[in-house]
Amino acid sequence: MKNTKYICLFFLLLPLILLSQNKEIIEIQNNSDLERNETVVAVKWEAVLSRYPQIDTSNFVVINAATKKQIPYQLEHKGLPAIQNLLVQVSVKAKTTLRLFVQKGKPNLVETKTYARFVPERKDDFAWENDKIAFRTYGKAIENTNEDAYGFDVWVKRTDKMVINERYKLGNYHKDNGNGMDYYHVGHTLGAGNMAPYVKDTIRYSANYHQWKVLDNGPLRTTFQLVYDEWNAGGIKVKAVKTISLDAGSQLNRVENVYTFEDNKAMPVVVGIIKRPEPGLISLNEQSGIMGYWEPTFVEDGTTGVGSILTTPVKNMLVNNGQILALAEVKNNVPVVYYTGAAWDKAGKIMNSAQWFEYLNRFSQDLKNPMIANVK
């Protein structure tokens, strides 16, 4: 009778015993006072390899140690042949540590939550999106036409599905066909948070991007580069490379700009958001580098919130010629990083200016207190 009990207990514990074999442990530490929900975290691939050198990249799973369920992941290359990071999307409560296992197994299909592509059929647009929002910027073919625009465009959406290809195929993306639309106007401004040199108190716009390269394309993070030919920025000859990343679940892009110019002095730049003539709500925090705007409501189309967060010192914030601007400086060939993006009230998540400004403040706090990933 006793042996029968032991046998039954053994079979009950067998799944846990098997799970504990041939596994490595990844710890994701959230040391902040804020709960982190569905956040994409990068784990250095070399750290995974150091503990699991024989890993088969086509046959492994990441398991939540507490729930025993698979965690969605992506192998990030950053445009290089070798894997750079293991990206995992996780939720971690404040002041706690999440433990994950890496082991052999067939991974579940990860839903595509980020996507980007060059759009030659629409005058060289480059468009990108995640499960919250979408954006586009303009290419060479549209230059010197009445449709040309200098800044980042916003495509609002109220679905977690990818919509870019469908909208371009339909061709009438200025109309809401059920999942959102493009009603954001950019014109000859920086739009939704583009950056440009600000020389002699004037924005020195470049031409549109002329080269592009996708470095990673989902399912959890999409990253691409845009290259801008040399232009005259108020007497300074400047070139620029912009590397833009968008994570699943985020309203904001990470933008890394590298400006090349022949000068030992720092060059002034601005991040700008177009301001509408109708009344809207503006929130400026120079000390934290947060610039938020809740646009006036368009009766049928709803309301868009736009915001930018600078990670370098802000010299000033101001409203100039219909734009909200944050002034900073860049050095020759030294990357400068900031975050910019948007939200739409009809998506049902961020419904008013208070929620949007709070989102920006919290995003800024998250940047200052990133989660820490270690492989044990």
* Tokens representing residue 152 in the block: 């980042």
pLDDT of residue 11: 46
Q: Cβ distance 155 to 180 under 8 Å?
A: yes
Cα(313)–Cα(272) distance, integer angstroms: 15
Pick from 219, 233, 210, 198: nearest CA to 317: 198
- In CATH, 2-110 is 2.60.40.1180: yes
pLDDT at residue 12, rounded to an integer: 46
Q: How far apart are CA 16 and CA 13, in angstroms?
A: 5
Per the rule left: phi > 0, alpha: psi between -120 and 50, beta: everything else, 310 is: beta
* pLDDT in the model for residue 268: 97
Q: Do domains 2-110 and 114-368 have the same CATH topology?
A: no
pLDDT surpasses 80 at 247: yes
The distance in angstroms from the start CA to the end CA of the chain is 41
Q: What pLDDT sits at residue 3?
A: 52
Judge whether residue 330 has pLDDT over 90.
yes
CB 371 within 8 A of CB 92: yes
- What is the per-residue pLDDT for 15? 42
Q: What is the pLDDT of residue 320?
A: 86
Architecture of domain 114-368: Distorted Sandwich (2.70)
Domain boundaries, the chain: 2-110, 114-368
**What tokens does 240 get?**
């620029």
Q: For all residues of the chain together, what is the average pLDDT?
A: 93
Q: Please state, in angstroms and rounded to a whole number, the distance separating the CA atoms of residues 75 and 89.
A: 12
Residue 336 to residue 344: CA distance in whole angstroms = 27
Number of Cβ within a 10 Å radius of residue 352: 13
**Per-residue pLDDT reduced to its tens digit, 294-321:** 999 998 899 999 999 999 999 999 998 7
The model's pTM is 0.92
pLDDT of 20 over the 90 cut: no
With a cut of 50, say whether residue 22 has pLDDT above it.
no
